C-alpha cells in the first residue's frame, strides 16, 4: 500500500464506497483518510451497567447478552425490531427501525456483545435505539479507545457509518506504509513532538489518553506551523520584492497642520502610530499596515496626518470608506480641518453627477486634486491618479480583497496602504491571518471620555427608558434609536422601523421634539440631509437602521438605544455603541430585547453590559461564534484547521508564530529547509490576501 493509492483499494472500501467518500468528504487517497481524524473516542474500557444508568448518560458502553428478538411490521417492507439486552444488572431494550437485516444476522444468543449508544427511558424501561453493537470475542477490545468519525446521511446509507469507517481505518493503520516527516528535526526535538507517522496512527487508535494528547499536540502544531509559514513567507517575499515609494521627509503641510490646526493634543497612541507609519514609508519598502483602534480612538486624524506626509513628498493620497455617509462625513471633516492650507480635497461617490465626476477625474489625472475621498467609486477602472502614493482604507472589513487589489493597480510603483479597522481582531487571529500585515494599535482613547454605561432592558421597561430619553433630550443631548435590518426581510424591517418611528413620535410629539429617520431605502442625498439635520442639532432623535453603524460622529449624542438587540452580533453592537460617548458627557447604551433569550444572545448582551473594551468583546465574539462568521476570514486557512482551534490554542499559535518568524529571519528563502520549501511550492494558500494586505 502506498499513501497516495486510491482509497478504493483499501480493505473494506471498493469502488462504490470510494465514490461516496470522495463526494461527501473529498477523501480520495489513503493519505486523505489518514487525515480524517475522529472527532471523539469511546473509551471501551469503561463499562457501564444497566442498573446504574442515569438520564444524564450521553454515551455508554455495556457488555452482556441478547435475547427475545421481536419484530412488528410498520409498513410493507418496514419493521420495528426489538431485542432485550441483559448484563446481569438489568434489562435494556434495543430498538432498530432500519438496517434490521444486518442486525438479525449479527445477533446471536448466548454470546457476549458490547452495546454502545445513548440510553433513554421509554415507558419506564431503559431503551437504546440504533446502538452500535460489537461481538466481545475474547471478552476484550484490541484497543481501548474506539474512534468515532463524522459521517453524513448519504454515507450511512452506503454502509459508511462511524463503525464501518472505524473498521476501514483499523485496516489502514495496521498496514500503513512510511509517512514522511514534514517538520524539521530541530523543531521536533525542541518541542518534543511525536514523529508524524506515529501521531497519525495514534490519533485514530490511541493506546492511552496521554498518547492521544501528544498525538493531537503534534498534529495541531503542524497545522498551525504551516499556516504561519504560508502567511509569513508571503510577507517576507513581498517585502523583499516589492519596492515602495520613499517618503523621506515630513514637510510644511504636516508641520503647519500639526502646529496650527489640531485643537487638542494627540494621544500617546496616536503619536506612536504616526511614527510607525512614517518609519514604514521611508524604508523603500511598500507599507501594508493595519491600524486597529477602538471606536472613537481618533483614527481619522491619524489617517489625515499620514496623508499629509504623502502630500509633503509630492504624492496624492486617497481615503476609501465603505458608505456614502461615512465618505461624506470624512470629506466634511477634512475640508474643515485643512481649511487655509491650500490643499485640494474632493469627494467621489456613486451619487456625484456625471459632469462633476468627469471634472474630478480630469483634475485627478492632472494632479490638481491632492486628496480624494470616496466610496467604491474610487476604484472604478476609469479613475486614474496622477501619482497615487498612499491609500487609506477605513473600516477594512467591508472591503473585499479584489477591491483592494484594484486600487493597487492604479499606480506603477505600488502605493503604501493603511487599513483602519475599529473591529478589533482577537489576538490569536491577528497572529495568524494578519501574520503578513504589520499591525499598529491605538489603544488609548482621547482624555476625558467616560466609558459608555450599558443597560439591558425589556419591552415592559419601555416607559422608563423613554422617560430617561426625555430627560437627556431636555438637558440638551441627542439620542439614537436603532433597529436591526436584515436584508432578506427588508420590507418587514422597514415596517418595524416605521412602527418604531410612530411610537417614538407619539411619545415625543412635534414640534417640541424633532425626529430624523435614516435607512437604506433613502437616496444618498436624503440620507445626507437627515444626517446633517441631526448633526447640527436640529433634530433630537435619530431613528435609524444600521446604516449608521460605522463611523458616524455626532459628539452631542449621548444615548444609543438598540431595539431587538438580540438580533445583532457582538461586533455590531460594539460598533453601534461607539456612536455615543464621543463628547465629554456621560453616555448610555440601552439594549432592548424580548423576554426570553437564547443562551448565546444572553451572553452577548451580558458581555456588552460588562465591558467596553473592544478586544475583550472581540475575544468573546470569537468564542461564541467561532471564526467562521468573522468577516474577511472566509478565504483564510484558519477555517480549514481540523484539529487546532484559533480560540483554544493560543499558546500553540504563539509558539508556531515565533518559531516560523525566527526560522525565516535566519533563512528567508528556506534554502536550507528543503522540506519547508517543498511545502511552499505545493501550498494551496498562496497569496491569500492578494497583493494588498
Per CB under 6 A, the list member of 300, 323, 440, 454 interacting with ligand ADP is: 300
Give 258-266's long-range contacts (Cβ < 8 A, gap of 24+): 258/305, 261/337, 261/338, 261/341, 262/301, 262/337, 264/446, 266/298, 266/301
For residue 528, give the C-alpha cell. Answer: 445626507
User: Residue 293's binding partner, choosing from Mg ion, ligand ADP, none, with beta-carbon cut-off 5 to 8 A by kind?
Assistant: ligand ADP
Per CB under 6 A, the list member of 244, 296, 389, 424 interacting with ligand ADP is: 296
Per CB under 6 A, the list member of 4, 102, 122, 264 interacting with ligand ADP is: 264
Residue span 112-151 as binding mask against ligand ADP, x where in contact by CB under 6 A, dash where not:
----------------------------------------
Is 313 an interacting residue with respect to ligand ADP (CB under 6 A)?
no
Is 373 an interacting residue with respect to ligand ADP (CB under 6 A)?
no
- The window from 184-192, 346-354, 549-557, 588-596 that contacts Mg ion (CB under 5 A) reads 549-557
User: What CA–CA distance (Å, rounded) separates 81 from 83?
Assistant: 7
Cβ proximity to ligand ADP: between 421 and 645 the closer is 421
- The window from 89-97, 262-270, 563-571, 684-692 that contacts ligand ADP (CB under 6 A) reads 262-270
User: What CA–CA distance (Å, rounded) separates 360 from 346?
Assistant: 7
Q: Work out how close the CB of 394 gets to ligand ADP at its nearest, in angstroms, rounded to a whole number.
A: 7
In whole angstroms, how far apart are CA 370 and each of 338, 345, 366? Answer: 12, 6, 10
User: Residue 266's binding partner, choosing from ligand ADP, Mg ion, none, with beta-carbon cut-off 5 to 8 A by kind?
Assistant: ligand ADP
Cβ proximity to ligand ADP: between 282 and 574 the closer is 574
- The window from 223-231, 265-273, 538-546, 563-571 that contacts ligand ADP (CB under 6 A) reads 265-273
- The window from 19-27, 47-55, 191-199, 259-267 that contacts ligand ADP (CB under 6 A) reads 259-267
User: Residue 117's binding partner, choosing from Mg ion, ligand ADP, none, with beta-carbon cut-off 5 to 8 A by kind?
Assistant: none
User: What CA–CA distance (Å, rounded) separates 48 from 63?
Assistant: 8
Is 270 an interacting residue with respect to ligand ADP (CB under 6 A)?
yes
Is 64 an interacting residue with respect to Mg ion (CB under 5 A)?
no
Cβ proximity to ligand ADP: between 122 and 264 the closer is 264
Task: Give every strand in the sheet of 120-122, ordered side by side.
Answer: 120-122, 125-129, 91-96, 79-86, 60-73, 113-117, 132-135
Cβ proximity to ligand ADP: between 63 and 579 the closer is 579
User: What CA–CA distance (Å, rounded) separates 631 from 398?
Assistant: 8
Cβ proximity to ligand ADP: between 335 and 564 the closer is 335
User: Residue 627's binding partner, choosing from ligand ADP, Mg ion, none, with beta-carbon cut-off 5 to 8 A by kind?
Assistant: none
Q: Work out how close the CB of 327 gets to Mg ion at its nearest, in angstroms, rounded to a whole number.
A: 11
Strands (E), 406-497: 416-421, 438-442, 453-458, 478-482
User: Residue 553's binding partner, choosing from Mg ion, ligand ADP, none, with beta-carbon cut-off 5 to 8 A by kind?
Assistant: ligand ADP
- The window from 290-298, 314-322, 455-463, 641-649 that contacts ligand ADP (CB under 6 A) reads 290-298
Residues 452/588, Cβ–Cβ less than 8 Å: yes
Cβ proximity to ligand ADP: between 191 and 258 the closer is 258
In sequence order, the β-bridge partners of residue 96 are: 81
In whole angstroms, how far apart are CA 508 and each of 405, 530, 538, 540? Answer: 48, 18, 15, 10
User: What CA–CA distance (Å, rounded) separates 170 from 179?
Assistant: 16
Residues 420/393, Cβ–Cβ less than 8 Å: yes
Cβ proximity to ligand ADP: between 417 and 550 the closer is 550
- The window from 26-34, 86-94, 547-555, 599-607 that contacts Mg ion (CB under 5 A) reads 547-555
Please provide the DSSP assignment of 10-22 as one string: STTTHHHHHHHHH
Q: Work out how close the CB of 295 gets to ligand ADP at its nearest, in angstroms, rounded to a whole number.
A: 4
Is 627 an interacting residue with respect to ligand ADP (CB under 6 A)?
no
Residues between 435 and 464 that touch ligand ADP (CB under 6 A): 446
Number of residues that bind ligand ADP (CB under 6 A): 18
User: What CA–CA distance (Å, rounded) separates 196 from 494?
Assistant: 57
Cβ proximity to ligand ADP: between 132 and 443 the closer is 443
Per CB under 6 A, the list member of 244, 293, 614, 637 interacting with ligand ADP is: 293
Is 551 an interacting residue with respect to Mg ion (CB under 5 A)?
yes
- The window from 155-163, 280-288, 342-350, 544-552 that contacts Mg ion (CB under 5 A) reads 544-552
User: What CA–CA distance (Å, rounded) separates 266 from 442?
Assistant: 11
Residue nearest to ligand ADP (CB): 298
- The window from 229-237, 260-268, 278-286, 611-619 that contacts ligand ADP (CB under 6 A) reads 260-268
Q: Work out how close the CB of 358 gets to ligand ADP at its nearest, in angstroms, rounded to a whole number.
A: 31
User: What CA–CA distance (Å, rounded) separates 599 from 111?
Assistant: 47
User: Residue 330's binding partner, choosing from Mg ion, ligand ADP, none, with beta-carbon cut-off 5 to 8 A by kind?
Assistant: none
Which three-class secondary structure state does DSSP give residue 516? strand
In angstroms, the first-to-last Cα distance of the chain is 43
Name every residue whose Cβ is closer than 8 Å to that of residue 566 and which is 6 or more positions away in sequence: 593, 594, 597, 598, 601, 604, 605
Residues between 530 and 589 that touch ligand ADP (CB under 6 A): 551, 553, 555, 582
- The window from 291-299, 488-496, 534-542, 685-693 that contacts ligand ADP (CB under 6 A) reads 291-299
The residue among 1, 61, 72 whose CA lies nearest residue 33 is: 1
Cβ proximity to ligand ADP: between 290 and 295 the closer is 295
In whole angstroms, how far apart are CA 331 and each of 372, 375, 498? Answer: 9, 11, 30
Q: Work out how close the CB of 13 gets to Mg ion at its nearest, in angstroms, rounded to a whole number.
A: 56
Q: Work out how close the CB of 516 gets to Mg ion at its nearest, in angstroms, rounded to a whole number.
A: 21
Q: How many CB atoms lie within 10 A of CB 459?
A: 11
Residues 434/569, Cβ–Cβ less than 8 Å: no
Number of residues that bind Mg ion (CB under 5 A): 1
Which three-class secondary structure state does DSSP give residue 140? coil
Residues in the chain: 693
The residue among 73, 79, 136 whose CA lies nearest residue 103 is: 79
Q: Work out how close the CB of 551 gets to Mg ion at its nearest, in angstroms, rounded to a whole number.
A: 4
The residue among 342, 299, 296, 344 whose CA lies nearest residue 448 is: 296
Residues 418/276, Cβ–Cβ less than 8 Å: no
Is 405 an interacting residue with respect to ligand ADP (CB under 6 A)?
no
User: Residue 270's binding partner, choosing from Mg ion, ligand ADP, none, with beta-carbon cut-off 5 to 8 A by kind?
Assistant: ligand ADP
Cβ proximity to ligand ADP: between 117 and 551 the closer is 551
Q: Work out how close the CB of 202 gets to ligand ADP at its nearest, in angstroms, rounded to a whole number.
A: 49
In whole angstroms, how far apart are CA 109 and each of 94, 126, 132? Answer: 14, 20, 17
Output the 3-class SS for 286-330. Answer: CCEEEEEECCCCCHHHHHHHHHHHHHHCCCEEEEECCCHHHHHHH
Q: Work out how close the CB of 395 gets to ligand ADP at its nearest, in angstroms, rounded to a whole number.
A: 9
Q: Which residue has the cell 488609548?
A: 444
Which residues of this chain interact with ligand ADP, rule CB under 6 A?
A: 264, 266-267, 270, 293, 295-301, 422, 446, 551, 553, 555, 582
Binding site for Mg ion (CB under 5 A): 551
Amino acid at each position: 500500500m502506498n499513501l497516495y493509492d486510491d482509497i478504493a483499494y483499501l480493505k473494506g472500501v471498493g469502488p462504490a464506497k470510494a465514490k461516496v467518500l470522495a463526494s461527501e468528504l473529498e477523501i480520495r487517497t489513503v493519505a486523505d483518510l489518514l487525515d480524517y481524524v475522529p472527532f471523539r473516542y469511546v473509551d471501551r474500557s469503561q463499562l457501564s451497567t444497566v442498573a446504574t444508568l442515569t438520564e444524564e448518560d450521553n454515551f455508554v458502553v455495556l457488555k452482556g447478552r441478547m435475547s427475545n428478538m421481536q419484530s412488528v411490521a410498520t409498513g410493507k417492507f418496514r419493521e420495528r425490531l426489538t431485542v432485550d439486552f441483559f448484563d446481569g444488572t438489568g434489562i435494556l431494550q434495543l430498538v432498530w427501525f432500519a438496517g434490521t437485516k444486518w442486525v438479525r444476522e449479527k445477533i446471536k444468543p448466548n454470546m457476549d456483545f458490547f452495546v454502545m449508544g445513548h440510553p433513554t427511558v421509554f415507558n419506564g424501561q431503559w431503551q437504546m435505539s440504533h446502538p452500535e453493537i460489537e461481538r466481545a470475542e475474547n471478552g476484550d477490545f484490541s484497543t481501548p479507545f474506539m474512534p468515532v468519525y463524522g459521517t453524513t446521511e448519504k454515507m450511512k446509507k452506503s454502509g459508511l457509518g462511524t463503525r464501518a469507517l472505524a473498521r476501514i481505518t483499523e485496516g489502514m493503520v495496521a498496514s500503513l506504509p512510511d509517512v514522511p516527516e514534514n517538520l524539521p528535526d530541530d523543531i521536533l526535538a525542541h518541542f518534543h513532538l511525536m514523529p508524524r507517522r506515529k501521531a497519525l496512527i495514534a490519533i485514530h487508535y490511541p493506546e492511552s489518553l496521554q498518547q492521544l494528547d501528544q498525538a493531537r499536540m503534534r498534529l495541531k502544531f503542524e497545522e498551525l506551523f504551516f499556516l504561519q509559514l504560508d502567511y509569513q513567507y508571503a510577507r517576507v517575499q513581498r517585502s523583499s520584492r516589492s519596492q515602495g515609494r520613499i517618503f523621506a521627509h515630513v514637510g510644511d503641510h504636516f508641520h503647519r497642520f500639526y502646529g496650527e490646526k489640531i485643537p487638542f493634543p494627540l494621544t500617546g497612541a496616536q503619536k506612536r502610530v504616526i511614527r510607525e507609519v512614517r518609519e514604514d514609508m521611508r524604508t523603500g519598502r511598500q507599507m501594508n499596515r493595519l491600524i486597529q483602534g477602538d471606536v472613537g480612538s481618533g483614527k481619522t486624524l491619524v489617517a489625515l496626518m499620514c496623508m499629509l506626509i504623502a502630500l509633503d513628498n509630492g504624492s496624492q493620497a486617497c481615503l476609501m470608506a465603505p458608505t456614502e455617509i461615512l465618505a461624506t462625513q470624512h470629506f466634511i471633516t477634512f475640508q474643515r480641518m485643512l481649511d487655509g492650507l491650500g490643499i485640494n480635497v474632493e469627494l467621489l461617490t456613486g451619487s456625484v453627477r456625471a459632469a462633476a465626476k468627469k471634472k474630478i477625474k480630469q483634475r485627478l489625472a492632472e494632479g490638481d486634486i491632492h486628496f480624494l475621498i470616496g466610496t467604491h467609486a474610487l476604484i472604478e477602472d476609469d479613475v486614474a491618479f496622477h501619482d497615487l502614493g498612499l491609500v487609506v482604507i477605513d473600516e477594512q472589513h467591508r472591503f473585499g480583497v479584489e477591491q483592494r487589489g484594484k486600487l493597487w493597480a492604479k499606480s506603477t510603483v505600488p502605493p503604501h496602504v493603511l487599513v483602519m479597522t475599529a473591529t478589533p481582531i482577537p489576538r490569536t487571529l491577528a497572529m495568524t491571518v494578519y501574520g503578513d500585515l504589520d499591525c499598529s494599535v491605538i489603544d488609548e482613547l482621547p482624555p476625558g471620555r467616560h466609558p459608555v454605561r450599558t443597560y439591558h432592558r425589556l419591552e415592559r421597561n419601555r416607559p422608563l427608558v423613554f422617560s430617561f430619553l426625555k430627560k437627556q433630550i431636555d438637558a440638551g443631548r441627542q439620542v439614537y434609536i436603532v433597529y436591526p435590518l436584515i436584508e432578506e426581510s427588508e420590507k418587514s424591517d422597514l415596517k418595524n422601523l416605521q412602527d418604531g418611528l410612530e411610537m417614538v413620535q407619539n411619545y415625543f410629539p412635534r414640534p417640541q421634539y424633532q425626529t430624523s429617520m435614516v435607512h437604506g431605502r433613502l437616496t444618498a442625498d436624503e440620507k445626507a440631509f437627515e444626517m446633517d439635520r441631526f448633526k447640527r442639532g436640529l433634530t433630537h432623535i435619530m431613528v435609524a437602521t444600521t446604516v449608521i453603524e460605522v463611523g458616524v460622529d455626532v459628539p452631542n449624542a449621548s444615548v444609543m438605544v438598540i431595539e431587538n438587540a438580540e438580533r445583532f452580533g457582538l461586533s455590531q453592537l460594539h460598533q453601534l455603541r461607539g456612536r455615543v460617548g464621543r463628547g465629554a458627557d456621560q453616555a448610555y447604551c440601552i439594549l432592548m430585547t424580548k423576554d426570553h433569550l437564547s443562551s448565546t444572545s444572553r451572553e452577548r448582551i451580558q458581555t456588552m453590559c460588562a465591558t467596553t473594551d473592544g478586544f475583550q468583546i472581540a475575544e468573546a465574539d470569537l468564542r461564541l461564534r467561532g471564526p467562521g462568521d468573522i468577516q474577511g476570514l472566509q478565504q483564510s486557512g484558519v477555517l480549514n484547521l481540523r484539529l487546532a482551534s484559533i480560540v483554544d490554542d493560543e499558546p500553540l499559535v504563539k509558539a508556531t508564530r515565533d518559531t516560523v518568524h525566527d526560522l525565516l529571519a535566519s533563512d528567508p528563502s528556506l534554502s536550507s529547509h528543503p522540506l519547508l520549501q517543498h511545502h511552499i511550492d505545493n501550498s494551496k494558500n498562496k497569496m491569500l490576501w492578494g497583493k494588498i494586505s
